[in-house]
Amino acid sequence: MPGYTLTIFDCDGVLVDSEPAANRVMVAMLREIGFEITLADCMARFVGKSMKTVQAEVIAEAGAIFPPGWPEVIRARTIETFKLEQIEAIPGIHGVVSAHQRSGRSYCVASSGRIEKMQATLGGTGLLPLFADVLFSATMVGRGKPAPDLFLHAAQTMGHPPATCVVIEDSLPGVQAAVAAGMRVYAYTAAPYVDAAAYKALGAEVFSDMAVLPGLLGL
């Protein structure tokens, strides 16, 4: 892939298989305030979005009343769940990172989750040392995904123009954000909640096996 100099990875669902556990916590906490949703619907609707965005959507739809500090509480419960459950790395992702290191291609992580969440999930899978100094969170920008702000911030901080960046995503908001940022995007579609056709319609190139990603990226 001539001309591409930076790979930006999403975290949950791309590097670590944390979405099922995180969404089980979200379903339980939404039900506590009277908002009924299934796990499948929660993952299809909210994966890739920040807690602030989730809260705003639920309020707009159902007029739900959230207790004070709800985003902080759900983040804390989610991290505790990650500690109790064994979160695994996405199969094949270690090989993808190794291919970047061998080629010298720069890479980083840009996630809707907070830094402490990424540290918890990446730390539990042994990936944290590979990404510890290149973590970017939606808390660093004014607007989270699907706005392009986070990807643009990561690219600027890493010193790469948007046109030379490639994004690896698994969520619709993430794909939308990458496209809005003017970056090429590869969408990982192995999870059952993923709508590959929708991603392709937005301009993403889809794949379902991490083993093929180094070749797609020209590494």
Among the four given CATH numbers 1.10.150.240, 3.90.1150.10, 1.10.3720.10, 1.20.210.10, the one describing domain 19-84: 1.10.150.240
Which of 2-11, 78-87, 92-101 tops mean pLDDT? 92-101
Q: Using the predicted structure, report yes or no on whether residue 118 has a pLDDT greater than 80.
A: yes
- Per-domain boundaries in the chain: 6-17+87-216, 19-84
- The tokens of 8 are what? 């930006």
Q: Which of 12, 17, 149, 170 is catalytic?
A: 12
Distance CA 20, CA 47 (A): 10
Q: Predicted confidence band at 124 (pLDDT cuts at 50, 70, 90)?
A: confident
Q: Predicted confidence band at 1 (pLDDT cuts at 50, 70, 90)?
A: very low
- 47-90, pLDDT tens digit by residue? 878 888 899 999 999 898 999 999 889 989 998 888 888 889 99
Q: Is 133 a catalytic residue?
A: no
Among the four given CATH numbers 3.40.50.1000, 3.20.20.60, 1.10.10.10, 3.90.79.10, the one describing domain 6-17+87-216: 3.40.50.1000
Q: Is 149 a catalytic residue?
A: no
Q: Predicted confidence band at 41 (pLDDT cuts at 50, 70, 90)?
A: very high
Q: Do domains 6-17+87-216 and 19-84 have the same CATH topology?
A: no
pLDDT of residue 83: 82
Lowest-confidence pick of 113-117, 132-136, 174-178, 213-217 = 113-117
pLDDT of residue 61: 92
Could you say which DSSP state residue 89 is in? B
Q: Predicted confidence band at 28 (pLDDT cuts at 50, 70, 90)?
A: very high
Distance CA 49, CA 47 (A): 6
Query: Which contacts qualify for 140-145: CB closer than 8 Å, 24 or more apart?
Result: 144/49, 144/50, 144/52, 144/53, 144/112, 144/173, 145/48, 145/49, 145/50, 145/112, 145/171, 145/173, 145/174, 145/176, 145/177
